[in-house]
Amino acid sequence: MSVGFHVRVARYIGDPAIAGKELFQINRLLAEANLPPYREPEIDPPGIYAAFGRLTCLGRAALDHNSASNFARLGEAAQEHLGAEARMLPLLLSLPLYFLPIAFAEPLYLDGGYHGRQPLCSSHQVTRELVTLAKFFTIPLDGSLLSDATAQAINDRGDEEPQTTWLTLFEGARQSAAYNCALVLG
C-alpha cells in the first residue's frame, strides 16, 4: 500500500467542520504541553512543492509517497541504529502521522481525535533523527544539510531503496518546518 504526505491537516481530513475540531484538539494538547499553538494556513503554502530538476517535488524528493512497508522499515532501522535516541521515527510503524512545525522532543498523543489515539510528531525532531540515521544509509551530509547533488543522486536510485524513503521523509519534515505547515503522512 502506498502512503504519502498530505499538506495541511484540514486538506487531509477533507471535512472543514471535522478538521476544525481536530485542529482545536491539537492546539489544546500543545497548550497542555506548554508548547506554542499551531496555526494552519488556509491554503497550501506556495512553494512547498517546487521544481527540482525536471520534476515538481516536495522539497527535493521526487516522491511524496512510498510503500507503507518501506516507511515501516525506516522506523525499524531507526530503532536498531539509534536506540533510545529514536523517539519519533519508530512511529512510522503505525500510520497516519501528523508532522507539526513545532519543536518538541517526545511524541504527543491526541486522544479522541479523528483517528482515535493520534501521534503528533515534531518536524524538527524528525529531522534531527533522520540526520543521525543518514550515516547508516551512507547518505553524506554537511552537518545537517543535504546537498542538491546528493538529493538528485538519491532520486535517481528508484523508489524501493531505503535512501529514497529517507529522502521523502527528510524533505517532508524540512518543508513542514520551513513553511510552518503541518504535513500528514498517511
Radius of gyration for the chain, computed over Cα atoms and rounded to the nearest angstrom: 16
pLDDT of residue 15: 96
Say whether pLDDT at 42 is over 90. Answer: yes
Segment 86-142, tens digit of pLDDT: 999 999 988 899 999 999 999 999 998 888 889 999 999 999 999 999 999 999 999
**Grid coordinates given for 93:** 510503524
Split at pLDDT 50, 70, 90, the class of 48 is: very high
- Of 75 and 54, more confident: 75
Using alpha carbons, list the distances in angstroms from residue 75 to 64, 65, 67, 165: 17, 15, 13, 11
Q: Give the pLDDT band (50/70/90) at residue 25.
A: very high
Question: Looking at residues 50-73, what average pLDDT do you find?
Answer: 92
Distance of CA 180 to the CA centre of its chain: 12
Please enumerate in sequence order all residues whose Cβ is within 8 A of that of 112, keeping only pairs 6 or more positions apart, or say none. 25
Let me know: does 184 contact 96? Beta carbons within 8 Å.
yes
Q: What is the mean pLDDT of the chain?
A: 95
Burial class of residue 58, CB neighbours in 10 A (0-12, 13-18, 19+): buried
| pLDDT score recorded for residue 94 | 85
Compute, in degrees rounded to 10, the torsion defined by CA atoms 136, 92, 72, 173: -50
Predicted structure pTM score: 0.95
